[in-house]
Amino acid sequence: MANFPLMSIVTTVFLYSSFNISVAVDFLTASQNLSDGNTLVSEKGFFELGFFSPGNSKNRYLGIWYKIIPISTVVWVANRENPLNNSSGILRINTTANYIVLTQNSTIVWSTKSLKQVGNPRLQLLDNGNLVLKDGNSREFLWQSFDYPTDTLLPGMKLGWDFKNGINRRLSAWKNSDDPSPGTLNMEMENHSYPEPAMWNGTQEFMRTGPWNGIRYSSKSNSGLPILVYHYVNNKNELYFSYQLINNSLIGRMVLNQSMFRREAILWSEAEKNWKVYATMPRDYCDTYNVCGAYGSCNIEDMPSCQCLKGFRPRVLEKWNLMDYTEGCVRNKPLNCSDKVGFAKFPGLKLPDTRLSWVNESMSLSECREKCLRNCSCMAFANTDIRESGSGCAIWLGDLIDIKVVLKGGQDLYVRVLASELGKELEGQEEDLDLPLFDLSAISNATDNFSNCNKLGEGGFGAVFRGRLTDGQEIAVKRLSSYSKQGANEFKNEVILIAKLQHRNLVKLLGCCIHEKERMLIYEYMPNKSLDSFIFDSAGRNLLDWSKRFNIICGIARGILYLHQDSRLRIIHRDLKPSNVLLDIDMNPKISDFGMARTFGGDQTEGNTRRVVGTYGYMAPEYAIDGQFSIKSDVFSFGILLLEIISGQKNRGFYCSDHTLNLIGHAWKLWKEGRPLELIDPSIGDSYALSEVLRCIHISLLCLQQHPEDRPIMSNVVLMLSSESALTQPKQPEFYMERDSFKVDSLLSRNESSTTNELTTTVLEAR
């Protein structure tokens, strides 16, 4: 092998005799230095290279940031693991040594690898944010920063492998805003027979996108307006994906966020002079790696989200019923190699983990089926390319894990099952419900054949009847309408969820009744009915003095706190309102109606949906407008409940002759004008403690703040209600609908969900 003289990029902290950059240029030559305080600026002024100190840190780093926007946004850091401790760093090209950074005592801070000597080395910052070393004006790069990304993937950057040069381009998050050294969150392209990008928390896989299917990664939805175009390449020299923004006037980036534990796709809003996150990974609970275990499928629209595939059942039913899905599912009947088998088709899925897979791009789907059928270890198969009529073959040779239902997307997966399971509807065993099942005749007798005189109420779900069992126990029967979209299995799973919720401020489920198409929930009877029958009734409100109202407020808060924090999974109710708060004989509140609730696992606190459900007047603005819900959505609803309990007025339909505001706007107006006591329901009389009522009004306005991040969590709300600690001043609540009109929103407003929208291109060659 020929030996070449070496040259280097160096940053030093001693004075050097070569020329220092003092004006805005986009390149350095071998005779020039870049000292701290001077920068390189790309030709059109898009990006800037120089030294900076992140956040509150005093350390100095060599980095690249956006020049054209007012907010400091660093996209690449050279010496992220070895900062300078003063501002005497110098960047230069050295034609006789490695490309290095030196401190004052000449220790290496950062360096590139050794490169062969060229006649006219030039280090240049390009308008795409790439820092490149080349020979004069040559288009061939000897080195480039795009090969060594930090936490940010810019348009045109590649995530994946350069096999020819032995480079793995991967992302790693900053530890925090003050420290750009690598955190625990990483993203890289997994290099095996069926490659896919994955995110890792240290050594533990955190999420994966699913494999490329010729159009997109299999976890991606195909809905909405395209904003990105993805480019996927898989050949003997490279394996990577990159992206470009379709609209060149947009400024965007993808970045790993350590504190939020997600990858964010972000666009710059010129109108707001700020960044807007328009898509994240993971998007929801179901994106988290293997949440449902082997042969379990996660659907964020279901409750609970995990279901066993057809032909399978929970491995450990007791854990499954407690919403612990880690054990996954097993076959209803063991599968032997000699058994007669077939394949059940499951459409619209993110394909299972591909590490134990085999791929042949030239096979048809029928050939793929035969290949899988002849191999007893083959558990499933699918096309690798779904374009046109489909092509290519992937088979799975082990347990199927990390499966997700993709709304408006995904692809078909064919799973090996016993022939006897094909075409069979799995009804599920009634004993799986682990709570009493009532006979239809017993419920019919208890309610006098569902007579109108026993009807307590009616809604879109059906009707509620009062009843009395033969042992004298009074019950409330929620009889679901035949028009309900909920199927038998979904109904059973909802029953299992509610049965596991045990708290004094949640209504108790006694059992259920399933008979042919009849589906009923049997609850404990609440003799005082619902809260709305008191606070909105001219006679009923007189029965609620302030002491009773405050007890109801605190009880509701404790019940919501249990759902958000103390139950096994986080549960977001999504329909908190007075009619869903029942009162027992002692006027203690019990939250009811979990038909619209959503569950989350671990530390997840938010999600999004295409189908907004709930009651207008109680929905948080981000949920009503964008379908984004979180524990802070329930906090907003609680804030409205507080105002309605205090005032005896409904938020929707509120009327005041002085203005056209609703109850929230009215409360804010009185607060700003120093007249909050005018909000109090006159029927309370003088029974209240002034400081307690004012504190409740104050808390309600904190809960109603426009931005979710400004609202308190329920544990803080409970603490505020039970203490006299100082409260922060509330910001203006969102009591009117207002949308921004800048370019980014106009692009995003047509989307039905917050999933990433993209066009794609594919380059597949033999490796």
The pLDDT, as a whole number, for residue 615 is 74
* Closest residue by Cα to residue 762 from 328, 46, 202, 195: 195
Q: How confident is the model at residue 417 (pLDDT cuts 50, 70, 90)?
A: very high
Q: In terms of domains, do 78 and 139 share one?
A: yes
pLDDT(635) > 80: yes
Q: CB atoms < 10 A from the CB of 176, how many?
A: 14
Report which of residues 488 and 332 the model is more confident about: 332
Domain end: 525, 544, 569, which one? 525
Measured at the CA of 82, the angle between CA 78 and CA 85, to 5 degrees, comes to 105
C-alpha span between 726 and 702 (Å, rounded): 13
Range with lowest mean pLDDT among 491-495, 516-520, 601-605, 699-703: 601-605
C-alpha span between 503 and 592 (Å, rounded): 12
pLDDT(336) > 90: no
Does residue 658 lie within any of the structural domains? yes
Binding-site residues for ATP sit at 478
DSSP lists the bridge partners of residue 466 as 476
pLDDT(644) > 90: yes
Average pLDDT of the residues in 134-146: 88
DSSP lists the bridge partners of residue 413 as 346
Average pLDDT of the residues in 176-205: 96
Q: In terms of domains, do 535 and 516 share one?
A: no
The pLDDT, as a whole number, for residue 493 is 53
Does residue 466 lie within any of the structural domains? yes
Q: Tell me if 575 sits within 8 A of 541, measured CB to CB.
A: no
Domain end: 474, 509, 525, which one? 525
Report which of residues 459 and 676 the model is more confident about: 676
Report which of residues 553 and 20 the model is more confident about: 553
Measured at the CA of 699, the angle between CA 695 and CA 705, to 5 degrees, comes to 145
Bin 160: left if φ > 0, else alpha if -120 < ψ < 50, else beta: left
CATH number at residue 73: 2.90.10.10
3-state secondary structure 494-515: HHHHHHCCCCCCECCEEEEEEE
Average pLDDT of the residues in 61-78: 97
DSSP category for residue 326: T
Average pLDDT of the residues in 47-74: 96
Report which of residues 349 and 15 the model is more confident about: 349
Q: In terms of domains, do 486 and 579 share one?
A: no
The pLDDT, as a whole number, for residue 65 is 98
C-alpha span between 728 and 237 (Å, rounded): 58
Average pLDDT of the residues in 476-491: 65
The pLDDT, as a whole number, for residue 738 is 32
C-alpha span between 445 and 68 (Å, rounded): 75
Give pLDDT tens digits for 295-333.
999 998 887 889 999 899 999 999 998 889 999 999 999
Q: How confident is the model at residue 101 (pLDDT cuts 50, 70, 90)?
A: low
Q: In terms of domains, do 598 and 699 share one?
A: yes
Average pLDDT of the residues in 404-408: 89
Does residue 438 lie within any of the structural domains? yes
C-alpha span between 701 and 733 (Å, rounded): 7
Average pLDDT of the residues in 112-135: 86
Q: Tell me if 160 sits within 8 A of 146, measured CB to CB.
A: no
Does residue 286 lie within any of the structural domains? yes
C-alpha span between 35 and 50 (Å, rounded): 8
Give pLDDT tens digits for 366-378.
999 999 999 999 9
Range with lowest mean pLDDT among 414-418, 458-462, 574-578: 458-462
Q: In terms of domains, do 395 and 479 share one?
A: no
Residue with tokens 């006897």: 420
Average pLDDT of the residues in 30-37: 87
Give pLDDT tens digits for 508-529.
888 888 777 788 889 999 999 8
Residue with tokens 């019990």: 590
Evaluate the CA torsion angle 345, 349, 352, 354 in order and state its sign: positive
- Just list the catalytic residues: 575
Q: In terms of domains, do 301 and 340 share one?
A: yes
* Closest residue by Cα to residue 697 from 744, 653, 740, 730: 730
Binding-site residues sit at 478
Average pLDDT of the residues in 725-747: 60
DSSP category for residue 407: T
What share of the chain has pLDDT > 90, as a percent?
Answer: 56
Measured at the CA of 618, the angle between CA 540 and CA 627, to 5 degrees, comes to 160
What is the rounded average pLDDT for all residues in the chain? 84
Does residue 236 lie within any of the structural domains? no
Average pLDDT of the residues in 26-31: 88
pLDDT(39) > 90: yes
Q: How far is CA 681 from the centre of its chain?
A: 40
The pLDDT, as a whole number, for residue 617 is 78
What share of the chain has pLDDT > 70, as a percent?
Answer: 83
**H-helix segments, 110-190:** none
Average pLDDT of the residues in 735-749: 38
Does residue 171 lie within any of the structural domains? no
Q: Tell me if 89 sits within 8 A of 49, measured CB to CB.
A: no
Q: In terms of domains, do 437 and 401 share one?
A: no
Q: In terms of domains, do 355 and 477 share one?
A: no
The pLDDT, as a whole number, for residue 47 is 98
The pLDDT, as a whole number, for residue 484 is 53
CATH number at residue 513: 3.30.200.20
Does residue 153 lie within any of the structural domains? no
Q: In terms of domains, do 453 and 594 share one?
A: no
Range of the domain at 544: 529-739
Residue 124 has, within 13 A of its CA and on its CB side, a CA count of 18
CATH number at residue 691: 1.10.510.10
Average pLDDT of the residues in 423-447: 66
Q: 3-state DSSP call for residue 320?
A: helix
Amino acid in the structure at residue 233: V
Q: How confident is the model at residue 623 (pLDDT cuts 50, 70, 90)?
A: confident
Q: In terms of domains, do 591 and 666 share one?
A: yes
Bin 508: left if φ > 0, else alpha if -120 < ψ < 50, else beta: beta
Domain end: 491, 525, 559, which one? 525
C-alpha span between 149 and 456 (Å, rounded): 63
Q: Tell me if 756 sits within 8 A of 220, measured CB to CB.
A: yes
Q: In terms of domains, do 444 and 394 share one?
A: no
Q: How confident is the model at residue 762 (pLDDT cuts 50, 70, 90)?
A: very low
Tokens of 596: 């619209």
Give pLDDT tens digits for 531-568.
999 999 989 999 999 999 999 999 999 999 999 988 76
Q: In terms of domains, do 273 and 290 share one?
A: yes
Does residue 416 lie within any of the structural domains? yes
Average pLDDT of the residues in 183-205: 95
pLDDT(764) > 50: no
pLDDT(530) > 80: yes
Average pLDDT of the residues in 234-259: 94
Give pLDDT tens digits for 655-687.
666 766 889 989 999 999 999 999 999 999 887
pLDDT(338) > 60: yes
Report which of residues 438 and 352 the model is more confident about: 352
Total structural domains in the chain?
4
C-alpha span between 299 and 603 (Å, rounded): 18
pLDDT(16) > 60: no
The pLDDT, as a whole number, for residue 435 is 63
Report which of residues 566 and 692 the model is more confident about: 692
* Closest residue by Cα to residue 471 from 512, 432, 510, 514: 510
